[in-house]
Amino acid sequence: MIAGNGGDGKAISSSAPLKIAVFASGSGSNFQALAEAVRDGRVHATIELVVCDKPSAFVLERARNFGIETYSFSPKQYPSREAYEEEIVAKLQAHGIDLIVMAGYMRLVTNVLVEPYYGRMINVHPALLPAFPGINGIGQALEYGAKITGATVHFVDGGTDTGPIIAQQAVEIRDDDTAETLGSRIQQAEYGLLPTVVGWIAEGRVTLNGRKVTINN
Ligand code: GAR
């Protein structure tokens, strides 16, 4: 287990490789970028589990190609969000997961997940938070006429993309951008940013104090 549970001014730290669970709902290209960084030794961690709420999502195939265990479920088969999250938490505990990485996981989370993992659960969002939270962050920025948007990695709290910000990368919006062209430049930013942040956490360099996140040298 790692030390430090966030919000207490202590860095998350671990001498053993950080045990990660990735949560995703779709293609899983961010999972792929992270899994390659782990495989290549750029991030001192192991991805133990991929959790997915869509049994046909491509991320599951990507996970199997890396030999990583998957856990998929259909939310409709549960009476409540809490009910499926209880099963997820049991899985995470059985694997001794240190860090949850939400990479395109398109579901709101409840206290069942947030309480045990606050400060040990991060998310990547395709906008510069607190601008354009929630679904379609890319389309929201385009429609608003913003000139700059980007990618954010933040700790997950009970709100929609409201948790403490760890790192951000700006992406310029061009006059002729479509959701596809802008989305692909934001994703390129994400593929660098997310593994970088996970690497910092694995090195014990990330301290969470209230809303303030510090990256120590
Ligand atoms: C990513 O771009 C991520 O920022 C976004 O979903 C995409 C998933 O792509 N997440 C959100 O919009 C969360 N609000 P991927 O499955 O190819 O990694």
Reported as a single tens digit per residue, the pLDDT across 107-126 is 999 999 999 999 999 999 99
The stretch 25-47 carries a mean pLDDT of 98
Ligand 1: residue whose CA is nearest its atom 8:
104
Domain made up of 18-211: CATH architecture = 3-Layer(aba) Sandwich (3.40)
Q: Is the Cα dihedral 199, 136, 65, 156 positive or negative?
A: positive
pLDDT reported for residue 5: 45
**What pLDDT, in 10s, does the model give residues 2-24?**
444 456 666 666 678 999 999 99
Q: Where are the domains of the chain?
A: 18-211
Question: How many angstroms separate the alpha carbon of residue 103 from the centre of ligand 1?
Answer: 6
Instruction: Quickly list H helices, the chain.
Output: 29-39, 58-65, 81-94, 111-117, 137-144, 179-202
Instruction: Note if the pTM is more than 0.85.
Output: yes
> Does residue 176 register a pLDDT over 60?
yes
Could you give the percent of the chain with pLDDT greater than 70?
94
Residue 197 phi/psi, 5° resolution? -65, -45
Residues framing ligand 1 (Cβ under 6 A): 24, 26-30, 103-104, 124-126, 137, 187, 190
Residue with tokens 């259909």, as numbered in its chain:
74
Q: What is the pLDDT of residue 13?
A: 61
The Cα–Cα gap between 190 and 74 comes to 27
